[in-house]
Every structure is written in C-alpha cells, then in structure tokens.
Structure 1
Amino acid sequence: MNAPDVLVVTGAGGMGAAVARRLGSGRTLLLADAVPGHLDRAVTALRAEGYGARGLVTDIASPAAVAELAAAAAALGRLAAVVHTAGVSAATSTVDRIMRVDLAGTAHLIDAFAPLAGPGAAVVCVASMAGHYARLSPADEQALATTPATDLLDLDLITGFDGDPVHAYILAKRANQVRVEAAALTYHRRGARINTISPGVISTPMARVEQESPSGAHMTAMLDACGAGRTGTPAEIAEAAAFLTGPHSLYITGTDLLVDGGQAAWIRRHRVS
C-alpha cells in the first residue's frame, strides 16, 4: 500500500486554515502553530469537517522545533507540499522576534524540509508585499540569500539593524524572497519546487490588528488609491498556494507571486513621494 501524501501547513490562523481546507482533502494534514489552544481549535474544526488533521506545537523561531516538525512529517508518509504561513506582525512584535521568527525561522524551515522534498513536492513560503519595499544592496541580499541559517542572525545587517518593527518586517520578508530564490537549485535537484507568495492586505485577525495600529489609515488609503478598494481574502491566498503546489505550475520555481490587488504596482508607478 502506498504511503499517504502529507501536507504540512504552518500557522493555524486565517491563511493557514484556508490553505488547509483548500489542499488538505485526501491527504494527511499536519498543522503547526506556536499557540497550543489556537492549534487545538483549528485541528478539532478540521477533523469535524472530515480532514485527516493532526497538530504539532511548533515555534518556528526554534531550529529544534522546526527539525521536529520535519521529522514528524517524514514519519507520516510522502511529503507532497509545505505551505508556510506562520509568522508575526510588525504591529504586535518586537524587532528581535520578527528577526527570529519571520527571517531566521523561515530559513530553518526551508533547510529542514529540503531532504524530504522528492519528485513532485512543492514548498510555498508566505512572504509579503512588504518585501518589495526593501532597499538593500546586492551584497546584503546575497548574504541574506546564502548565509547558513544558523548564522543569519549574526550578520552585521541584523546585529547592526537600526529601525523599528515595520522596517524589520520589510527586511525579514525580503529575506524570505531571496532565500527561496537561492534554495530553488537544491530543491530542483531533488525534483521539487519552492516559491514564495507575497500577499498584500489580507483579511485575517493579524491584519485587523495592523489596521487598528497607527499605520492602519495609511494601509486603507493605499488600498483605495491602487484601485483594489478592498482587502484580499484568505481563500485567495489559498488558491495561489494551490496553484504553486499543483500540476499547473511545474515550470515555476525560485520566484515570488504577488497577490496584492495591485498595491506594489501602484507604489512603483503611481504614488507621489
């Protein structure tokens, strides 16, 4: 009997739950989140809907926890896909936590799942439209892309960081994008693919906290100005993840898919500084 296909989804929030529902049918679903109560509620709901879901408490900032997640996935069967939605926001986190979770944590996850990624497997890391705001030198981007994950937080760019959580978030999400570019060759040699999705403002509990923060009015005004006039939905991110992990994107790897209602395009071509 063939081993079951395994789907790993990190983050049990709005995007993670939507991805689990969109991709989890007929698969063994391993859901990871750092908050036990949040994770338990999500797994219980998914099981009640017929999904073969199980949960593992995982702090993405911990390399040991990420390695445990990968080992748990390997024990369940053949890895089909990983969709990494877990992360923290600028509105509720410190610079240090953003660097540890959003930047280094994603790098550790990319490394941990590479040995499991065989032919046909696909990994999607959720970055952010914010990564397209970053203004880094080619040398800094190369360092973020290729420095061993264990040494990332020791880079001068990180230890000497002089900015607020918003700018830390921008840096971390750009790091996600370039890290995936660099990892694509390793995954390709195993017959697998890896990409990022960069959402704009998506209607999740985390985004609602952001909208209630001091930058919330600017965020809303930007949505109107770019023509979208609305936030995105978690289901739209799940559809993008379904495309990037499915059979219609086999020639797509090492790149970023913007799902932002045109916000980045407006910023680049129409916003008056």
Structure 2
Amino acid sequence: MRNRRDDGRDVLVVTGAGGMGTAVARRLGSGRKLVLADASRGQLDRVVEELSAAGFTVRGVPTDVSDRASVEALAEVAAGEGRVTAVVHTAGVAAATASARTIFEVDLLGTAHVIDAFEPLAGHGTSMVCVSSMAGHYAPVDREHERALATAPTDELLGLDCVRAVGDDAQAAYMLSKRANHVRVQAAALAWNQRGARINTISPGVVATAMSQAEIDSDPDGRMMKMLDACGAGRAGTPEEIAEAAAFLTGPHSLFVTGTDLLVDGGQAAWIRWHMRHP
C-alpha cells in the first residue's frame, strides 16, 4: 500500500544547501521528489524557493547532521515521500570557518549519522554518495586507527584515541574526518550490498564554493591556488563538476561501483604524490 505522498516518483535526498548541494539537486532532481536538508533555515528556504520556481518538486527539512535524532527525522520524512533511490550527503564545514570540535561533530559524526539513518531505507538500486575531500587521502592515521574510525559504533567515534589526540588543530581534524568518511563508507559497503544498494565517496579538491573561498581567503601565501597551477589544472573545480560525479555514482552506469572513493581534484592528489617537492 502506497504512502499517500508516494506518487510513484523516486525520492532524492540531498544534505547541504550550499554550492555543491544545490548543484547536485539541480542535476539529479528533475522528475524526482527532492528532499533538501540544511542546518541553516534561511539558506534552506532560499534554495527551496529557487528550486520550486525552477519547476522542481522540493521539500526543505531543517537538519543538524551532528544530531542523530535530527538525521533520523530527516530519513523519516524522506521515507514518507516514497522510495528513496539516491542520497547525496554534501553537508559539512571546513577548517577555515569551524573549530576542531565542530568539524568532528559535523564532518565525522554527521556523516556516520547519515549512513546509519538511511541504511534501513536502502533497497535494490539505492545509491548513497558522501562528499568527502581530497584532504582525507593525506591524513596521518595508521591502520589500527583507521579500523577504529571505520567500524566503531557511531556514538563512540568522538571518544577514539586518534580523535582526542587532535586537540584544537582544525586542519588535522578536517583531514582525519575526511579519511574517516572514506573508511566508514568502505566498511558500510557490505551491508549496503546485501540490500542491493551501493555507497561511495567523492573527494573534491578545490571547488569554487563559498566554503572553498573561505579557505583561500585564510591562505595569505596563496598556496592552494599555486598548487592548482603547479599540478596543471590551473583552476578550481565547479560545483557542477561534483554534481556530474554524483550523477555517475547514483546512475545506471556505475552499478558495479561501491565501497570506493572517486577523486575529483584536477590531478592535484597525483601531483602531490609524485611531483611535489617535500621538505
């Protein structure tokens, strides 16, 4: 028996109404019922109004991903709209604008909450994409701590030794959180596979969003942009390019892709590994 809101259209859930989330919503939302979540009610209302005016069927749900109950409420709303076939988690904060504690609560714990809340809704063909970061590939974390980040119960994550050891270093918190996103998704892939569903991460490099601009503004030496020039990209990425990657990972051409990370960074990570001169 169909829910009264279920008109047969698939449901797309997007967390984060910033540059990437809005681009994903526009790229994937046509013909679907879109459930958009953000912690900022003002930002959420603005984007919902814009998307509605553009013809999308969209419902905004204020959501704090660091709060398990808030994310579970979001999942309940999404389930009430119909069959959830795609979840793209873009909500996050950065080292330039947030404390280490907030980064861990939003980027680390928040991602785990989203994975946990939507796994019970995953069915045949469902695909989740969690937006991580290229920075996660460079977190100095050993195998033992990676295993803990991947498999510890969600409510124990903030108490892990490797998390507590970071202290107030926001950049280190960001890198560790993004690495945790990678390994958490890898570990979750088995359960999602058993449901006929898939789960992956995307790791953007520098992308032209307000969050990235804050990072650039906090970098007086222009190191980020110099690295983009050095690696040959010569520019930042666009939110639309991240949306295209999400479209691939939630679409019919990636049905054998799960439990992995897709770097979308203009070749910066490859340059860092093979060509960057290290002190």
Same fold at TM > 0.5: yes
Q: 2:243 aligns with which of 210, 214, 238?
A: 238
Aligned equivalent of 1:118: 123
Residue deviations 1:99-125 (CA, integer Å, cap 9, x gap):
000001101110110000000000000
Deviation at 1:138, TM superposition (A): 0.4
Quick one: which amino acid aligns to residue 137 of structure 1? D
- Per the alignment, do residues 5 and 215 of structure 1 end up closer, same or farther by CA in structure 2, a change over 3 Å counting? farther
Question: Is contact 1:73–1:79 with CA below 8 Å preserved after alignment?
Answer: yes
Q: How far apart, in 2, do the equivalents of 1:253 and 1:60 lie? A: 23
Distance in 1 of aligned mates of 2:193 and 2:220: 40
Give matches, 1:46-195, under 5 Å. 46-162=51-167, 164-195=169-200
Q: Unpaired segments of 5 or more residues in structure 1? A: none
Secondary structure at the counterpart of residue 107 of structure 1: helix
| Secondary structure, aligned partner of 1:25 | coil
Identity among equivalent pairs (%) = 63
**Which secondary structure state, in structure 2, belongs to the residue aligned with residue 80 of structure 1?**
strand
Partner of 1:266 in structure 2? 271
Aligned to 2:46: 41
Rounded Cα–Cα distance in structure 1 between residues aligned with 2:212 and 2:111: 20
Distance 2:101 2:150 in 1: 19
1:14: which partner in 2?
19
In 1, the alpha carbon distance for the partners of 2:25 and 2:219 equals 32
Q: Which residue of 2 aligns with 1:23?
A: 28
The answer to whether residue 187 in structure 2 is matched with residue 206 in structure 1 is no
Q: Helix, strand or coil: the match of 1:196?
A: strand
**CA-CA distance at 1:11 after TM superposition:** 0.4
Give 1:215 deviation, angstroms: 5.9
Of 198, 203, 220, the match for 2:225: 220
| CA deviation vs aligned residue, 1:229-266 (integer Å, no higher than 9, x gap) | 00000000000000000000000000000000000000
Deviation at 1:7, TM superposition (A): 0.2
Deviation at 1:134, TM superposition (A): 1.1
> Within 2, Cα distance between the matches of 1:161 and 1:127?
19
Q: Which amino acid aligns with 1:112?
A: A
Q: Distance in 1 between matches of 2:80 and 2:38?
A: 19
Could you give the per-residue CA deviations for residues 108-166 of structure 1, whole angstroms, max 9, x where no partner exists? Answer: 11011000000000000000000011121100000000001111111111123245111
Q: Distance in 1 between matches of 2:68 and 2:153?
A: 12
| One-letter amino acid of the structure 1 residue matched with residue 96 of structure 2 | A
Q: Which runs of 5+ in 2 are unaligned?
A: none
Matches within 5 A, 1:246-257: 246-257=251-262
Amino acid in the other structure paired with 1:151: E
**Equivalenced residues, count:** 273
Question: Are the aligned partners of 2:122 and 2:197 in contact in 1 as well (CA < 8 Å)?
Answer: yes
Compute the TM-score of the two structures, normalised by the length of structure 1: 0.98
